[in-house]
Structure formats: structure tokens, C-alpha cells
Structure 1
Amino acid sequence: MRSTTVLRVALTTGLLAGAATLGLTQAAAGEAPLTAAATPAPASSAVISAMQHDLGLTRQQATTRLAQETAARGVERAARRAAGASYGGSWFDAGSGALVVAVTEAASRDAVEATGARVTLVEHSQRQLDSTMARIDALDAPAGVSSWHVDPKTSSVVVDVVSAHKDDNDVRSFVTRARAAGPVVVRQTAQAPTTYAAGTVGGDPYYTGNVRCSIGFSVYGGFVTAGHCAQPGASVRGWDGSYIGNFQGSSFPDNDYAWVNVGSGWWTVPVVLGWGTVSDQLVRGSGEAPIGASICRSGSTSHWHCGNVLAKNETVNYSQGAVHQMTKTSVCAEPGDSGGSFISGDQAQGVTSGGWGNCTGGGQTWYQPVNEILNRYGLTLHTT
């Protein structure tokens, strides 16, 4: 066994013993949708340091922001109920440290503000924007269209086109049809997204065929990961070449999620690897982080990096086909990171799908939300 793996097992043992939770593991995780704990455990100094490095925050700013984001997760459900049919979306505002809720009717302002959220008036409701999104999803998108998502800040569906292809006839035709579907804003992006699977190389991943991907989150009986890594039935090997299990379910494109059963001497723990950049992180739930919240990613190629949630419910147009209901982030990733963990504080968020750029020059990465995966396959996230 490699020294790095010995170190990780030791770290994991310490984490689980300190939390008085169940056994060891060497796979990864997932659970039924849970909200953040009312009194979250304090963030480790390593997580704070990572946020300082990747987000440019001071130590105090990082500590304060994590507390504010935890509070925002708790406010979001109540604020949405208070807004009712006038709800137009929400996001975390790092400047004020508060959740901002968009509403279409001024009459609902007081009820929403009573939940602790800030309120802004917009033209279109979430229901209207989702309907526009659905109509655009039904269109056949050319390769020059990168993605599209509901954006509550602009009260529109934002369509991203690759700059080099913005004047292509098929792109212009798609944009025309998208605008006819409802409120649309068109923006340009530097590159088209790609998935992050890779050929077999060294590291601490899992392998299927000649493809290397990364474990997402442990669920009872296995782990969740990206669907583009393999088809149902595919055999999975660990970093040492030993048999772990098989893909029990997989969907790509349309979705990008899968789950793998674990056996043959492998087992699961509620931990995300910090790769020595931060300490290994315990998973305590899957409360969804709002737009604007900080988020970190763990993968077998580029290891640990942090950024912000940029958008939700985005359709990503890969060369293999469109994938729906993705979350976009400013976190970098590289080939081999596919399937890896996105986590906000101690809350599981999703599994890495793809993106553009790298961890030298920067870029953007999308993940498939973990709660959707758990619900689809009837899985339970392994938590402390």
C-alpha cells in the first residue's frame, strides 16, 4: 500500500473516531436529501486556508462567509414559501452576507423579508423562467452553443455561445429560436465544455476499462459518480487494480450521474479527500448551497480547489449531447476529475461532470447535483 494511502486511512480513522461515527472506507458517498445542521461544526483551519488561497479572502472573511452561507441555506426554503407564486429565484450575496430573493410582486416583500432574506423585484417568476428553459431544452443545439441556464439576477435564461462561433448560421438560428421561447440574454464564453474523464494514468482514482475517473460521495452500499465514465454493468477497479464493484446505474447524456456498488474488501465512509491540501472532510448532509456560495471540489487529477456557485439549472451542450439541470461553478478541474466531489462546508453538493480550462489558467466546471442522483436511484448518503 502506498504511503499516501496509509496517510489517508490514518486521517480518515481519526476523523471518524472524533465524530463517533461508523467504520472506515476507501470509496466515497451519497444520502437522502438533508438540510444543513442547525449548529454546523466549525470549519477546519485547512478549509479556511483553501478558501483564503482560492477565493482571495482573509481568514476572518472565510470564517464569516461559511457561517453566512450556512444561515442562507436555512433561510432559502422559508423565503421561497413566503414568496409563493411571485418567487423569482434566489442567490447568496457575498458582499452583504445575505440571501437575496427575487419576487415579481411587491406585496410579498414583507413576508419574504421576515424570513431574514433581502428582497429585489424582478419581471419574471421562477415558473416562467423554468418554462422558457424547458422550451429551449427542446431545441437542437449546435456545437457553438455552450450552455444555457435560468439566471435569477437578470430574470432571464442566459444562453452562452462560444465566441469563435457566435456568427455561425446555426448558432444565430438557435439564438433566434431561443429568444422566441421567452426572456433570454445571450453571452459569450471562451471555450466549449468537455467532460473530465481521462486515459489510465497514475493517481488515486478508480478505473473502468482504460478510463480514469474520481469517486464522488459514499452511499450505503457504494458510491456515486459521473455517468459518462461508464455504462451499467462496467467493472470498476481501485487505485491498486483490485476489483471494487460494478456500475449499477448510469445516465449520459441528458443526465451525468451513476452509482457503483462496493464490495470485495472495499467499504464506504462519509469522507471527501483533501489530498494534503486540506484535511479529509467529513460529510454531514446534502443541504443545497445557493448561487453565490463558496464551494470546493476534490478530484484525482487536480486534487482540491475552491470557487463559487455561478448558476443552477443549466443545460450544458457537450459534443456527446446536452445534459440538464447542472450547476455551474468557478472551480477549475482537469481530465480524470470526472465524478469527483463538490462540497460546501460539510454539505455534499454534486459530482463533477465537465467544464473548460484547467487549474493553471483557470476555467469553469459543472456538477450534477447529488440530491437528484440519490432520488433517482433510491440511495442514502453516508454521513456522520
Structure 2
Amino acid sequence: AQDARTWYADPALTVGVGVTAGVSFPGNDYASVRYTNTVVAYPGEISLGVGGGTRDITNAAYPVVGQSVCHVGRTTGYRCGTVQALNVTINHGEGAVYGLFRSNLCSEPGDTGGPAFSGGTALGIIVGSSGNCSSGGVTYYQPVSEWLSAYGLSVY
């Protein structure tokens, strides 16, 4: 949730992990959480869904047109395709979001916030889509390198 101040590791909201450190929306579509709980592990890996294992993310980069990209959405799961376009703008009811990239992957409601990556390189976060996975569609992502740069963060 964009207005959340405290973040938790469990659905019962009993294990706090951090606090919101910054939010940028509209214009961009990202936020940063500052971890405050030193007891909880913060692995740098992505779950690939039921039975899919994990993918260790060790760096971040800006995407390139034609590059392979995979994403994991809570609704549609693990999918792979190709980066189609850079510097794309989409319009939400709350305002425009600029500087996104687009893939030929489908996604559906519930997938927003899912990671996009190529191998062990983080590329972006799902912020929207058009179409669906029955008839085809495209997905739009906030580039993760822009967001890391805005907050002075890195992936390692």
C-alpha cells in the first residue's frame, strides 16, 4: 500500500521489518523501505513460484530492447519474454508514470509489484499492463536502476 508506514514479514502483522523511507508516485512508481529489524533475514532472491525454486539477484541494470526478461506475478506466475520498448509513459487515474519499459509478457490484476529480471540481474517492477493472458498483452515496468539511483541504493 502506498500509504503504509510500517512493513511486516507476516500476514498477522506481528513481525515488523521496516518503515517507508520514500515514495515517488505519480511521475514514477516506486518506494523504498528502510529495514529496522536486524533479526529477520533479507535474502536477495526471487521466488519463481510453486515448485520453481528461487533466483538469486546479484545486480541491477537498465533494460535493453531485445533483451530477454522474466517476471513473476502473484496472479500469473513465472513468465519469460522480450523487452520491446524503453522510455514508455502510461496514464493511471492518479497521473502519468514516465520512463517505463515494456515487454511482450502478459500480466493480470494482482501481478503489480512483481519483479522483472534477466538471469541474476534485476531490471524492474511490474506497474501495469494491457490485455490479459488469455488473449495476449504487454506489461509495463518501473526500471529498478532508476529507483535505486534515486535513493542511493545498490544490489549486491
Question: Which one of the candidate residues 15, 18, 28 is aligned to 1:245?
Answer: 18
Alignment partners' CA distance in 1, 2:51 and 2:128: 22
Q: CA shift at 1:319, angstroms?
A: 1.9
Query: How far does the alpha carbon of each residue in 1:128-185 deviate from its partner, in whole angstroms, 9 at most, with x for none?
Result: xxxxxxxxxxxxxxxxxxxxxxxxxxxxxxxxxxxxxxxxxxxxxxxxxxxxxxxxxx
State percent identity of aligned pairs: 34
TM-score by length of 1: 0.37
Matched, 1:230 2:11: no
> Which structure: greater helix fraction?
1
Q: CA shift at 1:301, angstroms?
A: 2.6
1:270 partner amino acid:
G
Q: CA shift at 1:339, angstroms?
A: 1.7
Q: Mark the runs of 5 or more structure 1 residues left unpaired by the alignment.
A: 1-228
1:340 partner amino acid:
G
Q: Which moves more between the two structures, 358-367 or 371-380? A: 358-367
Alignment partners' CA distance in 2, 1:292 and 1:279: 26
Query: How far does the alpha carbon of each residue in 1:176-234 deviate from its partner, in whole angstroms, 9 at most, with x for none?
Result: xxxxxxxxxxxxxxxxxxxxxxxxxxxxxxxxxxxxxxxxxxxxxxxxxxxxx413x62
Matched, 1:275 2:49: yes
Query: How far does the alpha carbon of each residue in 1:262-318 deviate from its partner, in whole angstroms, 9 at most, with x for none?
Result: 344433112111113533101121133310121000232322111211100111122
Aligned to 2:35: 262
Matches within 5 A, 1:3-82: none
Given that residues 298 and 304 in structure 1 are in contact (C-alpha distance below 8 angstroms), is that contact kept between their aligned partners in structure 2?
yes
Question: Which one of the candidate residues 332, 344, 350 is aligned to 2:118?
Answer: 344
TM-score by length of 2: 0.86
Query: 4+ residue stretches of structure 1 with deviation over 6 A?
Result: none
Counterpart secondary structure, 2:60: coil
Alpha-carbon spacing, 1:357–1:249, altered in 2? closer, same or farther (3 Å): same
Alpha-carbon spacing, 1:271–1:263, altered in 2? closer, same or farther (3 Å): same
2:6 partner amino acid:
S
Structure whose alpha-carbon radius of gyration is higher: 1
Alignment partners' CA distance in 1, 2:36 and 2:92: 33
Question: Which one of the candidate residues 308, 316, 327 is aligned to 2:101?
Answer: 327
Alignment partners' CA distance in 2, 1:291 and 1:279: 27
